[in-house]
Amino acid sequence: MSKFNEAGIRPVAISTDTSEDSRKLAQSQGYTFPILSDHSADVIRRYDLAHKGAGINGEDIARPAEFLIDSTQTAVWINLTENYWIRATPEQVLDVAKLLK
Question: Where along the chain do its domains lie?
Answer: 2-100
Among positive and negative, which fits the CA dihedral 60, 73, 1, 101? positive
Q: Mean pLDDT: which of 20-24, 49-53, 81-85, 97-101 is highest?
A: 20-24
The per-residue pLDDT for range 2-45, each reduced to its tens digit, is: 999 999 999 999 988 899 999 999 999 999 999 999 988 899 89
Sequence-ordered strand ranges (E) for the chain: 13-15, 35-37, 50-51, 61-62, 65-69, 75-80
The CATH homologous superfamily for domain 2-100 is Glutaredoxin (3.40.30.10)
Q: How far is CA 44 from CA 5, 52, 77, in A?
A: 26, 11, 17
Question: What's the predicted TM-score (pTM) here?
Answer: 0.80
